[in-house]
Structure 1
Amino acid sequence: MLRDEVAKAFKVVQEGGIILYPTDTIWGIGCDATNTDAIKRIFALKQRDEAKSMIILLDTDNKLQSYIQEVPELAYNLIEYAESPLTLVMPGAKNISPALIAADGSVGIRVCQHQFCQQLIQRMRKPLVSTSANISGQPSPQYFGQIDDAIINGVDYVVDLEQHSTEIKKPSTIMRLEPSGKFEFLRR
C-alpha cells in the first residue's frame, strides 16, 4: 500500500503535478521543489501571496549542504535532538526554484521523519515542497477530514494514506538559524 502510494505520487510530481499528502505534522500540499510552474500552481490554489515562502522537506540531514550554502554545525544537533518536528529557516538557499527562496535568500527546511515522505523524496532525488493544506488565512487542518474541498479538488493527486485518522496534528516548530549559529524561534 505504502509503496503503491509512493509510486503514484512520484509519477504525478515527476510530471509537474501537485499532491496532497500526509506528513509527520499536518497534511501538506507539495510538488518538486525545482519546478517553478508547479510551485506557482500551489500559490494560486492556496490564494497565497508569492512573497510568503513555503518550506521544503528532505529525507536526511546529509542533504542539507545541497540546498544551503553554509550549514551551521548546530543545525545537525538541532535536527538530531529535536523532540518534535522542526523546520529550520536558513539563508543561502540554492538548487531549488527561485519561487521558494525568500527575499532575504533563506528557505525553511524540515528533515521529515514520515515514512511516505522519506520514500517519496528518495525516489525524487529532490526536495519536496510542503505547505499546509488550507486556503491562505484559514486555519490549518489538523487532520484530513478538515481539509477544504477546494484544496482536495485543486490538486492532481490525493495520497490514499491516513485519510481516516482523526489524530490531531500540529505544524512544526520553526526556528531561524544563521551561519554564525545564532538562532531565534519563529513559531513554537
Structure 2
Amino acid sequence: MPNFNLEIKSAVEAIKAGKLILFPTDTCWSIGCDANNASSVEKLLMLKQNDNPKNITCLVADDRMLGKYVKQIPDAAQSIIEIADTPTTIVYDMPQNLATNLYWKNNTIAIRIPDDEFCYQLLRRTNCAIATSLACIEGEASPKYYEEIAPTILKGVDYVVNLQMQKNCTKPASIIQIDNSSIVKILRK
C-alpha cells in the first residue's frame, strides 16, 4: 500500500529539483512542475508537444497563494471560488511571480485551487504554484484512468506519484475568464 507522506516527500523533492511529475489532481491525472521555473515549464511544453501555455493551469493551495501570483483578484473571482461546487479554473489578468513562458499572449493565466488533499499538501510543502497539464500529448484524448496514460508521457516524467491509481477522470475543470473589470466569460463548462 502506498505511503501518502512518502509520496508527498518524493513529489516535493522532484518539483524543487526542477523535474516533471505525474500525479492525480482533483480532476484528472496531470503532468506538473514548478511554475516559477521556466526551464521546467519548457520541459512540460516539450513533453506535451505543444508550445501554447493556454493548455497549462497553475495550481495554488489557497487564496493567500493566489494573491502571490495575480496582481488583482476580482471580487467576482472570489465569489466563484467560494460557491463553485465543481473544479473551476479561473483565467486572471496580470499574472506575476511565475515563469513568463506560462503567460498567455494577452497577459493572462489560468489558475485553480484544487479540492484534493494530495495537491494541497504538495502545494503547501513546495510553497510554489505547480504548472499542470493533462497527462496526454496535445491533440490526443485525455486519459480517464492511469492505465490509459501513453508510454511517451510515462517515460517523459521524472516521478510518478503512486496514489489513486484507480481514479476515474470523468471531465476536466470548468474554465472561466474574469478580467479586472469583473467581466465573466465561460470558456469551458
Q: Does 1:177 align with 2:183?
A: no
Q: Does 1:72 align with 2:85?
A: no
Q: CA deviation at 1:49?
A: 2.4
Q: Find the counterpart in structure 2 of residue 33 from structure 1.
A: 35
- State the Cα deviation string for residues 137-176 of structure 1 (Å, max 9, x = none): 001112211110110111000000011x152431000000
Residues 6-21 of structure 1 mapped to structure 2, 5 A cutoff: 6-21=8-23
- One-letter amino acid matched to 1:125: N
Shift in CA distance, 12/104, structure 1 to aligned 2, threshold 3 Å? same
Partner Cα separation in structure 2 for residue 113 and residue 138 of structure 1: 26
Partner Cα separation in structure 2 for residue 146 and residue 53 of structure 1: 20
Shift in CA distance, 168/112, structure 1 to aligned 2, threshold 3 Å? closer
Q: CA deviation at 1:53?
A: 4.5
Which secondary structure does the structure 2 equivalent of 1:17 belong to?
Answer: coil
Residues 39-50 of structure 1 mapped to structure 2, 5 A cutoff: 39-50=41-52
Partner Cα separation in structure 2 for residue 168 and residue 90 of structure 1: 25
Q: Normalising by structure 1, what TM-score?
A: 0.96
Partner Cα separation in structure 2 for residue 63 and residue 34 of structure 1: 13
Contact 2:23 2:161 in 1 (8 A): yes
Task: Give identity over the alignment, percent.
Answer: 34
Q: Does 1:127 align with 2:129?
A: yes
Q: Find the counterpart in structure 2 of residue 98 from structure 1.
A: 100
Partner Cα separation in structure 1 for residue 76 and residue 100 of structure 2: 26
Q: CA deviation at 1:29?
A: 0.3
- One-letter amino acid matched to 1:105: N
Gaps of 5+ in 1: none
- State which drifts further: 166-175 or 79-88: 166-175
Partner Cα separation in structure 2 for residue 24 and residue 9 of structure 1: 16
Q: Find the counterpart in structure 2 of residue 167 from structure 1.
A: 168
- One-letter amino acid matched to 2:106: D
Structure 1 segments of 4+ aligned residues over 3 angstroms from their partners? 50-53
- One-letter amino acid matched to 1:149: P
Contact 1:175 1:186 in 2 (8 A): yes
Which secondary structure does the structure 2 equivalent of 1:9 belong to?
Answer: helix
- Of 129, 138, 141, 1:136 maps to 138
Shift in CA distance, 126/101, structure 1 to aligned 2, threshold 3 Å? same
Partner Cα separation in structure 2 for residue 51 and residue 129 of structure 1: 10
Gaps of 5+ in 2: none
Shift in CA distance, 85/96, structure 1 to aligned 2, threshold 3 Å? same
Q: Normalising by structure 2, what TM-score?
A: 0.95
Partner Cα separation in structure 1 for residue 123 and residue 167 of structure 2: 25
- One-letter amino acid matched to 2:156: G
Q: Does 1:85 align with 2:96?
A: no
Partner Cα separation in structure 2 for residue 166 and residue 78 of structure 1: 26
- One-letter amino acid matched to 1:28: S
Which secondary structure does the structure 2 equivalent of 1:93 belong to?
Answer: coil
- State the Cα deviation string for residues 1-49 of structure 1 (Å, max 9, x = none): 1111010001111111000000000111000000111111111111012
Partner Cα separation in structure 2 for residue 30 and residue 51 of structure 1: 13
Q: Find the counterpart in structure 2 of residue 186 from structure 1.
A: 187
Q: CA deviation at 1:52?
A: 3.6
